Structure formats: structure tokens, C-alpha cells
Amino acid sequence: MAESGAVDSTRLTVVGSGDAFSGCGCNAAYLVDERVLIDCGSPVQALLPRAGMTVASIDLVLVTHFHADHTYMLPMLLGARAFAGELRGGLTIGGPPGTREYVLRLLNTGYGRHLVELIEQRLELQWAVFQDGANDVVAGYRVGAHAVVHSTGPSLAYTVQRDDAAVIGFSGDTTLCAGLRRAIASADVMVCECTGWDGPTEGGHLWRGELEQLIAEYPNTRFVLSHLRTRGTVAGAILAHDLLSIDVGAPSDRDASGSGRGPGRAAAEAGRK
Ligand SMILES: [Zn+2]
């Protein structure tokens, strides 16, 4: 594990960088500052310790949509939080309308009612609903939500920001749509799915050619490409791998301008394993 970044930097960790089925990497899960988890398709309770981190510090879980490769490890995460290691209550799970019902169905299928009640009590579970245009502070982070178009609905892209630190965006799974563009426009660093490599792909996903277009259109946003089926090089972007951590500095000219992002200020300072 690398040394900590500057005090005002935000640490982005890609827990899983692969798409649903290829095995190119673990399934979708991303961590901001070890406190906000976006999606839980990977066994984060097993993977985080390999990077010197723990699920005990997570305050907020954001679900982008209800596909298995983004959510099916939620019962394992919640079980680990409730029954192993340091017990700390006050966990919020947020997502599109229906998230509470969906997650409780996963939990009940996996563990049965008794264990689910114990998990709910021990974690003091709270729920948050996000819809298009949401801009709420939850667990100390400003969360922006943007409806995106995927093969299942509802689906959200998010932006996450602590105080005046960098804005980190997450596409979830999406086609090239207005909601995705809004998320990119407000993000300093955007973790964007890039499922297709050689051409357009099935299932409501982005492909490399569209990412190259977006990278050219949004020069003030630094792109991290993830949800990968294969690996290669894309000019102007960082290709994610499992357990990649990046310390993202705060935009240095925000104080001067009062708002917004400065060109090229979203310096992703270092990639590390
Ligand atoms: Zn999906």
C-alpha cells in the first residue's frame, strides 16, 4: 500500500475492473476514501484486506442498478460488517427506487429472516432513494445522481464529493446518453464503463470508440475505464485493474473561481496496486 496522499485528496479504489462474464477482472465495485462503496459485485470483504483496507469503515453503499455483477456480493459485505471484525453501526444503502426491496430480497434469499433481522439491527441499516437530478449530502458526501439508459431500469450514474475535494463520477452501466454526459461534465475523475472494445456491444453498454469520443469532448475530466472485457490502450485514459488506487487532488483553482472545475486540475496523481 502506498503512502497516503495529501490531506485534501480523495482516494479512489477500483475493487473490481471486469465486466459481467469475461473474467477480465473482478465484478464491479469501487471505493471512495474507504467510506463510500459504489456497487458490490465483488467479494469486497475478501478483496479490501489485500489492499490494507476493511469493510468496517464503509458508511454508504450506492447501487447503480439491479444486475448481479453489480450487487450479488451485497449479502457477503453486510454479513461481514455485522458478524466479523469491528462492529460499527450506521450504514446507509442508497440506490434507485426499489433498492431497499431488492437488497432485502437478496439478503432473505441468502440468509433467511432471522439473520437478516440481526444484520439490520447490528448495522442500524438506513436507506436512501436517488432519482435523476438528486444532489444530496449523505454520510458526509455530496451525492449526485443521473438517470442513464441501460438494458435494465432504473439505472443511475453517480458523482461523489467530500466537502470541496475532487468530484468522482461513476457511470454504472449505460449507453451514450444525456445522463451520462451530465455526470461526466460535473466530474473531475470519471470511472466509466468500457465493455465493448472492437465495436458496439450488446446489453446497453459503452464501447471503446464512444469512450474516445467522450475523452475528446470532455478534456477537463480524467477518465478511468473499467467494466472491461479486454485490455488495451486508450489515449488519454487510465485503464483500471483490480485494486487500483488513485489519489485525486482537489481542484486547485476552485477557491479562486468560486465554483466549478479548472482545466486539467483533476490530477490523478498516482496509480498503485
Ligand atoms: Zn448492467
Q: Does any domain span residue 77?
A: yes
C-alpha cell at 27: 465484478
What 3-state DSSP class applies to 201? coil
Q: Does any domain span residue 2?
A: no
Per-residue pLDDT, 1: 38
Residues near 259 by beta carbon (within 8 Å), at least 6 away in sequence: none
* Residue pLDDT tens, the chain, 273 long: 344 444 589 999 999 999 999 999 999 999 999 999 999 999 999 999 999 999 999 999 999 999 999 999 999 999 999 998 878 888 999 999 999 999 999 999 999 999 999 999 999 999 999 999 999 999 999 999 999 999 988 999 999 999 999 999 999 999 999 999 999 999 999 999 999 999 998 889 999 999 999 999 999 999 999 999 999 999 999 999 999 999 999 887 544 443 444 333 334 443 333
Yes or no: say if 6 and 247 are a contact pair by the CB < 8 Å rule: yes
Distance 149 CA to ligand 1 centre (A): 10
How many structural domains does the chain have?
1
Distance 104 CA to ligand 1 centre (A): 19
Q: Does any domain span residue 255?
A: yes
Q: Does any domain span residue 141?
A: yes
Per-residue pLDDT, 140: 95
Q: Does any domain span residue 117?
A: yes
Rounded (10°) CA dihedral 121, 159, 166, 72: 50
Distance 150 CA to ligand 1 centre (A): 7
Distance 109 CA to ligand 1 centre (A): 21
CATH code assigned at 196: 3.60.15.10
Yes or no: say if 204 and 175 are a contact pair by the CB < 8 Å rule: yes
Quote the domain boundaries for residue 20: 9-272
Per-residue pLDDT, 88: 83
Q: How far apart are CA 254 and CA 101, in angstroms?
A: 40
Q: Does any domain span residue 29?
A: yes
Distance 266 CA to ligand 1 centre (A): 27
Task: Tell me the pTM.
Answer: 0.90
**Which amino acid, one-letter code, is at 159?**
T
Distance 2 CA to ligand 1 centre (A): 32
Distance 7 CA to ligand 1 centre (A): 35
Distance 177 CA to ligand 1 centre (A): 15
Per-residue pLDDT, 7: 55
Distance 173 CA to ligand 1 centre (A): 5
